[in-house]
Structure 1
């Protein structure tokens, strides 16, 4: 997936360095923890391994391979780096107090991070900046996530405070709860109705004093690498809905971006390719869901508002082992419903129920979907059912809606479904939902 535009790192930062703020070989941060392959590469290109407690200098690039790292800067800032990330400290100065000379200029070269900013930039906001390939990020005192979707696009989400995202297309201020995507250096930041997240899940409100406490961990306490990421490869099923159609695609392969967003899905019957991201999320490294604002298939058919849920198929043998069990699944995620004439007025809610037999199963879903159109502002009841069908990791709706669903995870721990229904005869409404039992 490519996006238009190209970008060279901000000349303003380098001009500042040349005119009076040269890089100094002074320690800037220490490593709170390092898991897997983590290195510091000096400005001269000399690499050294990093371990907990190791010091990092201004001018260093912290390079994280198949691992994770957390940096604690001398001004109190915390930066958590996800796998496959290169993060460069272009300049850092902090004397131990706010004297107006403190500054921090950084570059995210690839991958993603989450940060809680420190004293640098609190007084003089211009003394803090993170540069990416398509935009620069300034702060107003904040906590935010930043991640590449590909080499020419980034996603940003603000948790607390505010950030300013700027490039050749303009600037946008994102306050607490705001999210945006930047697609190319000349395209203005675009606000989105989903919250981009790093994987594994990042810390929530309990951020301090241990920024790393909510990293995913094994039972022995070690950090679980890629614990919540969907990984590219075979064995995926996809349930989808758009316009007035929907269905399932089985035994396919999927390609995911660095934050588990689905980029493409290919199966024996065809392929789907996302062009413009509209929404994306996943859970437990098992199931993902989202919406492509624009997409295409192998025939280059243009599609809009393509809703999907995707996961690696639960083996039929594991489903058979649930013989006699009726499982109720609670909703853990959804896409915002879309239709040609109107818009969603809230979040859908509901459950999915599956009754498993030795060779057959029946699946039903009861949703409440709030939606407004030119004639009606109401919450629609969507009661979809498969009837009794052969035992399978996927299913399609026989009544109540168009679309289908899938079981994913060990012993069908998760389920997902797409739906499409007629909203009073004036428009069709589509969406996708994810569940966990």
Structure 2
């Protein structure tokens, strides 16, 4: 009996410690969204609310939530989504990690300095896949019921960087401008799609434009942090690396170079 009590106390302590790890701060919210803590208690999300590891976020049909993470990343949750922060640590240590789950709906993830310094420390879980990254801006969607030509499963679109979608049947790399799909159907490997999923064309978002406004600032924060960790001096204002616009142009060139590969993988 004593051993059981000790085990329960240890579990409770672990949950408490997990819940005190700051994940990020809500920078923008539109519509209805709720944050649920490890005890199951929920409260309405407003701008400025802090989000901690161990908590979950649910958005309503009109809900969008933008979170700036402690490591200068950004998570943009779409309507009708269920998102959970499984583990998170951003202390500038080798044990830093980002592990979260998208159980339903969609999100856009712009990775911060944790993933950029150690890609293996980032993992996004969905009901059908595990997604890893290499310095990425990507969008993931989980569909439960077929809608038009979009079948149930996990979709991932890469804006910048690379993602790796893994299932029990195999894995596939997704590059800028590419769209991948891991079906819910058992025994089917993930694959690239020939075109953008239909739901992305129909998706209407109210505060998406804020991401581009914030992305350059977050990018500079990440670069500064990486230089600090490497013991390098910060860039002078005139010595900064190319910004978002130049990186987008480079990504477009890579997309055009990869078109033949995309057509071979319908």
> Residues 97-144 of structure 1, C-alpha deviation per residue, up to 9 Å, x if partnerless?
3x3221110000100011111112222222110000000100111111
3-state SS, counterpart of residue 26 of structure 2: strand
Higher strand proportion (structure 1 or 2): 1
Residue in 2 that maps onto 1:200: 204
Report how far residue 182 of structure 1 moved: 1.0
TM-score (norm 1): 0.41
1-side partners of 2:165 and 2:80: how far apart? Answer: 23
Report how far residue 210 of structure 1 moved: 5.9
2-side partners of 1:195 and 1:102: how far apart? Answer: 34
> Residues 65-103 of structure 1, C-alpha deviation per residue, up to 9 Å, x if partnerless?
1311111101111111111101100011002x3x32211
1:68/1:170 CA distance change after superposition, 3 Å: same
Superposition pairs of residues 267-416 of structure 1, within 5 angstroms: none
3-state SS, counterpart of residue 195 of structure 1: coil
Select 1:58's aligned residue among 53, 58, 65: 53
Residue in 2 that maps onto 1:81: 77
Structure 1 unaligned residues grouped into runs of 5+: 1-16, 212-344, 346-437
Residue in 2 that maps onto 1:189: 190
The answer to whether residue 102 in structure 2 is matched with residue 94 in structure 1 is no
Select 1:69's aligned residue among 65, 73, 80: 65
Residue in 1 that maps onto 2:126: 132
Higher helix proportion (structure 1 or 2): 2
Residue in 2 that maps onto 1:32: 27
> Residues 333-385 of structure 1, C-alpha deviation per residue, up to 9 Å, x if partnerless?
xxxxxxxxxxxx9xxxxxxxxxxxxxxxxxxxxxxxxxxxxxxxxxxxxxxxx
Report how far residue 41 of structure 1 moved: 0.5
3-state SS, counterpart of residue 23 of structure 1: helix
Report how far residue 24 of structure 1 moved: 4.4
* RMSD (Å) for aligned C-alpha atoms: 2.6
2-side partners of 1:204 and 1:51: how far apart? Answer: 19
> Residues 202-232 of structure 1, C-alpha deviation per residue, up to 9 Å, x if partnerless?
8589724269xxxxxxxxxxxxxxxxxxxxx
2-side partners of 1:150 and 1:112: how far apart? Answer: 12
3-state SS, counterpart of residue 193 of structure 1: coil
2-side partners of 1:76 and 1:34: how far apart? Answer: 18
2-side partners of 1:189 and 1:204: how far apart? Answer: 30
> Residues 266-325 of structure 1, C-alpha deviation per residue, up to 9 Å, x if partnerless?
xxxxxxxxxxxxxxxxxxxxxxxxxxxxxxxxxxxxxxxxxxxxxxxxxxxxxxxxxxxx
Report how far residue 149 of structure 1 moved: 2.5
Contact 2:19 2:38 in 1 (8 A): no
Please say which structure displays the higher CA radius of gyration: 1
Query: What is the count of residue pairs matched by the alignment?
Result: 192
Residue in 2 that maps onto 1:358: none
2-side partners of 1:136 and 1:188: how far apart? Answer: 13
3-state SS, counterpart of residue 121 of structure 1: helix
Contact 1:100 1:123 in 2 (8 A): no
The answer to whether residue 138 in structure 2 is matched with residue 144 in structure 1 is yes
Looking at both structures, which has the greater relative contact order when contacts are Cα pairs under 8 Å and sequence separation is at least 6? 2
Contact 2:54 2:85 in 1 (8 A): yes
1-side partners of 2:80 and 2:50: how far apart? Answer: 20
Report how far residue 54 of structure 1 moved: 0.4
Structure 2 unaligned residues grouped into runs of 5+: 1-10, 146-151, 217-259, 261-266
1:169/1:204 CA distance change after superposition, 3 Å: farther
3-state SS, counterpart of residue 34 of structure 1: strand
Contact 1:167 1:186 in 2 (8 A): no
3-state SS, counterpart of residue 180 of structure 2: strand
